[in-house]
Chains A and B, each alone.
Chain A
């Protein structure tokens, strides 16, 4: 029974939960919590993007556009129009989902590099609009965003809270909240992957023609997963805006789209735990490399290049393969 549990998808979720809730033992200052919270939010975004890239095999080079739309919708509705956070997040997600559906139908017919091109274009157009509609978005200078309120209960990095008798400061509370959000994001993604929809998606990745031949409506599955991954991005963008308290067009920029897709590929396409690792590594790397000062960019590019050349399947799948190979060898030696 233990064995079956270990093989089920619950294993990953429990494992992730243990890491997430043990992590505060290693976090010593507000900066650490800030970074960890950002990581959790970005990781959840990437888990959504991985549904599209890793499972359905479709490339998006414009996902920051959806993240940015979510962030700005939440920021504008709560900041300028006095909405409360939850309705803003949900309405934003629905709107972004509709936009993704409208643009997704025609562009998902495209293949390979044409699809990359089209998603890149959509992302750019969103970023340019956010940059130029200063009356609404504050333009390149950005805009402030009120803190998150959950039906009247306010969650702010500057607040203080108590949970089961523990005193938490705002950063710690936000981290725990973001960790929970990440767990829910992973749980939903795993359920989707193991559902008939997930199987259909993987068949699209394998061979779209074969999938169509056996009766899978590939077009509608592809747009469905495109919409779902855009909704992930929109919700996380909204949370990110509330957490940061201030957003600039950088949240929708092409560079950020590239960061998101790099996290997926670096961590391991198609591996939910892998892409979370990718998000953590890519968020940590600049912190580590900051010590190299002017060499930072060179080192970053070099590490990215070398990792992808020598581990084309991504970090986690490569590590897992190496471990299982070694275990097999050991087992063989003993027999």
Chain B
């Protein structure tokens, strides 16, 4: 009984940590530009797929990962510069459609380069699973959690201790005022997209050995990240992490105790329940509408 519960908990926390990283990516871009980036999931796909294909070419794993993450970062900058920046006057829906167009485009490119097959990535370290109270923990899960934790701490330091991080925060609070004090807001927005892409691609790399990877893996993972960000409250970093972990655990429990066919339905029902009682998510800022 207990070992079963523990097993679901491990699975949930592992996938939840991935959701949390994706949600943080959403949060970052949302804070900087109030755009919901539906291409967020594609950064994950790029991270996993590029790593796998570089390794197949004989590049050592660590270097392959670094190159893949850099590639995703460049893609993030390009996305902001050539798709989001030119459309700054556009409606919210129009921006959503632009990012959807971008995600279809990136997915199409990936399909051209890497084909439609599933690709397998080896674990970072041993394949030997760890046994705790009868439950099995994949060693890769530890990597996911560890790297996730490091990234979250890194982000906190980045936003509180570095000038660039503070510039992003300032831009998200008030763009005009930020520009007045000499922050180059366009550059800051590009940076926000880049950091978000880095986060996404790292999440994609660490989770790839568990879930496999393919050109279309970004769609569902991206949506789950959006769900996690909305549960936590759009714009809240703490919310993104809590939302991600919560979503992962609830999903794993639903798959284990109810039905794996309905685990996604449980995730989407959860967001409806949360929004019903808290229209701005768990940690969303209370905003007074100015007229």
Chain A positions within 8 Å of B, measured between CB atoms, are 53, 59, 103, 106-107, 109-114, 116-118, 120-122, 124-125, 128-129, 131-132, 207, 209-210, 254, 258, 261-262, 265-266, 269, 294-305, 308-310, 312
Contact = CB atoms under 8 A, between A and B. Distances in A.
B177 to A, nearest CB: 23
Contact of A312 (B91, B100, B102, B107): B91
| Residue in A59, A103, A309 whose Cβ sees the most chain B Cβ within 10 Å | A309
B226 A128 contact: no
| Nearest 10 Cβ contacts at the A-B interface | A301-B105, A297-B108, A301-B104, A304-B101, A298-B108, A305-B101, A121-B268, A312-B90, A128-B265, A117-B230
B125 interface: no
B104 A309 contact: no
Interface of B: 30, 36, 83, 86-87, 89-94, 96-98, 100-109, 111-112, 223, 226-227, 230, 234, 261-262, 264-265, 268-269, 271-272, 275-276, 279-281, 289, 291
15 contacts: A53-B93, A109-B279, A116-B36, A117-B226, A121-B227, A209-B291, A265-B91, A265-B93, A265-B94, A298-B105, A300-B104, A301-B107, A302-B105, A305-B102, A312-B87
Contact of B107 (A111, A132, A297, A304): A297
Contact of A114 (B102, B103, B234, B264): B234
A118 B275 contact: yes
Contact of A110 (B36, B101, B103, B279): B279
A109 B89 CA distance: 25
A299 B107 CA distance: 11
A294 B112 contact: yes
Contacts of A266: 97
B279 A301 contact: no
A20 to B, nearest CB: 27
A100 B92 CA distance: 23
A312 B94 contact: yes
B94 A308 contact: yes
Nearest to A122: B272
Nearest to A254: B223
A104 to B, nearest CB: 12
Contact of A117 (B86, B97, B100, B271): B271
Contacts of A312: 87, 89-91, 94
A308 B95 CA distance: 8
Contacts of B262: 128, 132
Contact of B100 (A128, A262, A294): A262
A53 B96 CA distance: 13
